[in-house]
Structure 1
């Protein structure tokens, strides 16, 4: 009889624990949605997801983010948009899409990096401590996160950027 009582109180305790965890998760999701709704500049939204502000260029016309699955759409006001990060040239399309998660962006489209003579599409981005990893299909390259803290301006011409960086 004692084991039956112990079993039911244990079951009741685990049920209460599950309810408390569920309530806590709901509160976290609602507070994140509320804080996202207050953010007007997408650059201020990125740190809420543990991503640096400088992942996207300055010239943002509009953005939308789905709180249910993290899918986003960013529209640039200038096109074309080339940005120089250290020794790397990056091209941003007029529309950038993907799925935003804590410390990562997946299913990326609209961002390309120039490697040698080829433009390759960035497919995912992930922050790992002090490094940020850019995935291009099965390949990836890491850079210091600090290189992406400042929001870069767009340039309409890739050649001007390449010449400026070689001076």
Structure 2
């Protein structure tokens, strides 16, 4: 590289806004690590996020799964579309799209998530529900939620018993 080219490259790099470097930093974080930077536990996203985009200036984000993701947790059924979008700020996600919960016989869109001390609040618009934050320290798995180890153990015991 010729000397004038190096100077031009140097001048170009120092003239870039600092936010460009911050965005590059975020691109190296996983979606789960980015959530933690905004004071959220990793367990509000299921295992299997394959990528995300985040505009730090506005908080607008998109997270991507390889397909839709459904699983039970307690008496609820949750569904994540392959693209989840919203606006994130410390302790708050608003304008959430792509996540729904089955309550009784109806699917309701979760539109807001708030981390408030030792609880997480999930809003479907007019109604909301609070859950202890320690329920979200681990990410659920598509298909089986948190009961996967139990299912794997059952499948293993079936294999073992069928081999006898």
Matched, 1:68 2:30: no
Partner of 1:95: 83
Residues 57 and 83 in structure 1, CA contact (< 8 A), matched pair in contact too? no
TM-score by length of 1: 0.70
Cα RMSD after superposing both structures: 2.6
- Tell me how far apart the structure 2 counterparts of residues 141 and 131 of structure 1 sit (CA, whole Å): 10
Distance in 1 between residues matched to 2:86 and 2:21, nearest whole Å: 22
CA distance in 1 between partners of 2:44 and 2:20 (Å)? 26
Shift in Å, 1:32: 6.3
Of 130, 134, 137 in structure 2, the residue corresponding to residue 146 of structure 1 is: 134
The residue aligned with 1:52 is 41
Instruction: Flag the structure with more relative contact order, 1 or 2, with Cα contacts below 8 A and sequence separation at least 6.
Output: 1
- After superposition, the C-alpha distances for 1:92-143 in whole angstroms (9 at most, x for unaligned) are 0111000011001000000000100111000000011000000001210000
- How far has the Cα of 1:88 moved from its partner? 2.0
Q: 1:36 aligns with which of 7, 26, 42?
A: 26
Indicate which of 124, 129, 137 corresponds to 1:136: 124
Give the equivalent residue in structure 1 for 2:69. Answer: 81
- 1:32–1:131 CA distance, 2 compared to 1 (3 A): farther
Aligned-pair distance for 1:61?
Answer: 1.8
Query: Residues of 1 paired with 2:24 and 2:62: CA distance?
Result: 19
**Aligned mates of 2:57, 2:103 — CA distance in 1:** 35
Secondary structure (helix, strand or coil) at the match of 2:135 reads helix
TM-score by length of 2: 0.71
SS of equivalent residue, structure 2 residue 70:
strand
* Cα distance, 1:91 vs structure 2: 0.3
Q: Which runs of 5+ in 2 are unaligned?
A: 1-17, 152-164
Unaligned residue ranges in structure 1 (runs of 5+): 1-26
